Structure 1
Amino acid sequence: MSAALLAGAVLTALLPLPLTLPASLIDLRRGIIPNALNLALLVSGLGVAAWDDGIRGFGLALASAAAAYALFRAVRAGHARLTGRIGLGLGDVKFIGAAAAWTGLSGLPVLILAASLSALAVIGVLAATGREIGRTTALRFGPFLALGLHAALGIQAALVLGPID
C-alpha cells in the first residue's frame, strides 16, 4: 500500500471524528449521548454509503443500522430482564445503530470487540490503581464505542486497500 493509500485509510477511519469526539466528551461528562449527535452520525453514514454505492449502498447502510439497533436493543432488554438493572444505555444502543450505517454489519464485531477490550483495559487500570470495581461500577461506554467505530473503519479501509508495499 502506498503512502497515499495509507493516508486515505487513516482519513476514512477519522471521517466521523467531528461527531464521535463531542459524543464521547458529552457522555463522559453527563452520561448521555445526545440524540442529535446519534442522528447526525446515522445521516452522515447513510450519506457516505449513498455516495460510495448509490441507492444500493444507502439501502444496505439503513438495513445495517436498523438491524444493529434492534440487536443491541434486544441485548439491553435481555440484560435488564436477567439482572434487574440497565447495563447498556439507550444512547449507546442508538450509537451502535448509527455506527453500523458506517461499518455495515460486517464491521460490527470489530467495533464491539475494540470497544469492549478498551473498556476492559480501563477497568484494569482503575483496579490496579486501587479503585474498587464491582457489579455496580458504572463506566461510560460511549467513548469506547467511538474508538471501536474508528478501529472498524480503519481495518475495513486497510483491507480494501491491500497490504503495505
Structure 2
Amino acid sequence: MLYAFAFVLAAILLALTVIDIKHFRLPDYLTFPLIGLGLLQGYVLHSDILPFAIGAVAGYAAFVLIEIGFKRLRGIDGLGRGDAKLLAAAGAWCGWLWLPQVVLIGSLAAIAAVLFMRLRDKAVTAQTAIPFGPFLAFGLAVVWSVQSFHHVPL
C-alpha cells in the first residue's frame, strides 16, 4: 500500500509542478484530492488522522497569513492560495510537526534555483515572478519519502 500512495503522490506532484511552471497556478482539482489522499494515507499507514488533519489546517493557515501579510506590507502578491493549499496537502501527508522541514527544503531549493538563474546571467529582481509550487512539491516529496521509507516517527 505504501508504494501505491508513493506513486499517486509523485504523479500529482509532478502534474502540479508542470502546471505551476507553465501557468503560475496550482489548480483545486489536484490540490483538494491531494489533501484528502494525505488524510487517507495517514489513517491507512499510521492508524491516526489527527496529526495529519492538524497539519492540513496549520499548513493552509500559515501560508494564508503570510500571503495576507506580504500583500499588506508590499502591496503586491507574493504567494497564492494554491501554495497555501499545497502546504495544506503537505501537512496532510507529513503531519504538522514536519511542515517546517517541508518549507525549509522547498525554500532552499528555490534559493538554489534563483542562484543558478543568476549564474546563467538571467535578470532576477524582487519583481521576478517565480512559481513556488514546484519547490514546495519537492519539499513535500523529500519529507514524505524520508518518513515513509526510513520509518521516521511522526
Q: TM-score, normalised by structure 1?
A: 0.84
Report the counterpart of residue 27 of structure 1 in structure 2: 20
Report runs of 4+ in structure 1 exceeding 4 Å deviation. 8-15
**1:40 aligned to 2:33?**
yes
- Structure 1's unaligned 5+ residue stretches are 1-7
**1:16 aligned to 2:29?**
no
CA RMSD of aligned residues (A): 2.2
Identical-pair percentage: 31
Look up the equivalent residue of 1:32 and give its one-letter code: R
Assess if the C-alpha contact under 8 Å between 2:146 and 2:152 holds in 1: no
Give 1:138-149 correspondences, 5 Å limit: 138-149=129-140
1:48-105 alpha-carbon deviations (Å, 9 max, x no partner): 0111244xx2233122101211111111111111111111111011100111100111
- Structure 2's unaligned 5+ residue stretches are none
Give 1:141-160 correspondences, 5 Å limit: 141-157=132-148, 160=151
Question: Distance in 2 between the 1:121 and 1:108 partners?
Answer: 20
Change (3 A) 1:83 1:36: same
Assess if the C-alpha contact under 8 Å between 2:54 and 2:91 holds in 1: no
**1:65 aligned to 2:56?**
yes
Question: Distance in 2 between the 1:94 and 1:147 partners?
Answer: 15
Question: Distance in 1 between the 2:95 and 2:33 partners?
Answer: 17
Q: TM-score, normalised by structure 2?
A: 0.89
Which has the higher mean CA deviation after the structures are superposed, 89-98 or 59-68?
59-68
Report the counterpart of residue 43 of structure 2 in structure 1: 50
Report the counterpart of residue 81 of structure 2 in structure 1: 90
